[in-house]
């Protein structure tokens, strides 16, 4: 199975900061990667699919980039509602695999 | 409005079985692939299984192969996960999720149902 290595596992940031999270695949996955946000006690929410396409309704401060094996999620100006855990998910080949998550804290 | 609701979770002893259901509404169920994803307490997300829109193909994470079976009833707009030979490592919140049509990703999720495997 493809391994997804996400970094950092956690980070501390302030409102207004630019935040970058990376995800590396153990093998080529084209651009078949999504980013998900999860807040405590709730289901994950799709933010970005196909590595860089913003899901409808997601604020434009979120952006994704990358292809092949290296991917990045960027939050351009962190807002209070963005404090959450973020996961990447490769949907290139079964079994799909998630990164281990990045907790964004104040 | 798209809605997914899981049910069937609970407490079960090791070696036991449980069947989860996911009732959906707000979209044409038979058009979309469907997935199960789980999350152990305090841990990250783990993709579990997928079934094609017409039930023709099914995929599983290695840790559940031979024990879990994903199925669907398109006439009842319901997704299922039959879980057998449960172990304590299967304790988790189980989410059902809808796949997008043309580009794979999980665009809608249920609220989750908790499965606890304990003696």
* Distance (Å, whole) CA A24 – CA A88: 9
Give the H/E segment covering residue B6.
strand B3-7
Q: Is B103 in contact with A49 (CB distance < 8 Å)?
A: yes
For chain A positions 33-72, those within 8 Å of chain B (CB to CB) are: 34, 36, 38, 42-46, 49-50, 53, 55
**Residue B16: CB partners within 8 Å, gap ≥ 6?**
B86, B117
Inter-chain touch B44–A1, beta carbons under 8 Å: no
Per-residue model confidence as pLDDT tens digits over B43-101: 999 999 999 999 999 999 999 999 999 999 999 999 999 999 999 999 999 999 999 98
Based on its alpha-carbon atoms, the radius of gyration of chain A, rounded to whole angstroms, reads 13
Q: What is the pLDDT of residue B104?
A: 84
**Residues on chain A touching B22 (C-beta within 8 angstroms):** none
């Amino acid at each position: 199975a493809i391994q997804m290595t996400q970094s950092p596992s956690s980070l501390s940031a302030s409102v207004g900061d630019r935040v970058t999270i990376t995800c590396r695949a153990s093998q080529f996955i084209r651009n078949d990667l999504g980013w998900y946000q999860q807040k405590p006690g709730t289901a994950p929410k799709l933010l970005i699919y196909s590595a860089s396409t913003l899901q409808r309704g997601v604020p434009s401060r979120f952006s994704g980039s990358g292809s092949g094996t290296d991917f990045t999620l960027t939050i351009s100006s962190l807002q209070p509602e963005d404090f959450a855990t973020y996961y990447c998910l490769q949907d290139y080949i079964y079994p799909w695999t998630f990164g281990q998550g990045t907790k964004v804290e104040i | 409005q798209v809605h997914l609701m899981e049910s069937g979770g609970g407490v079960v002893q090791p070696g036991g079985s449980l069947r989860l259901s996911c009732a959906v509404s707000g979209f044409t169920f038979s058009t979309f692939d469907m997935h199960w994803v789980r999350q152990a307490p305090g841990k990250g997300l783990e993709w579990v299984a997928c079934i094609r829109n017409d039930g023709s193909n099914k995929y599983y994470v290695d840790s559940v192969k031979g024990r879990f079976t994903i199925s669907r009833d398109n006439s009842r707009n319901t997704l299922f996960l039959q879980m057998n030979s449960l172990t304590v490592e299967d304790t988790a919140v189980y989410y059902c999720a809808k796949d997008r049509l043309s580009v794979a990703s999980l665009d809608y999720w249920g609220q989750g149902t908790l499965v606890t495997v304990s003696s």
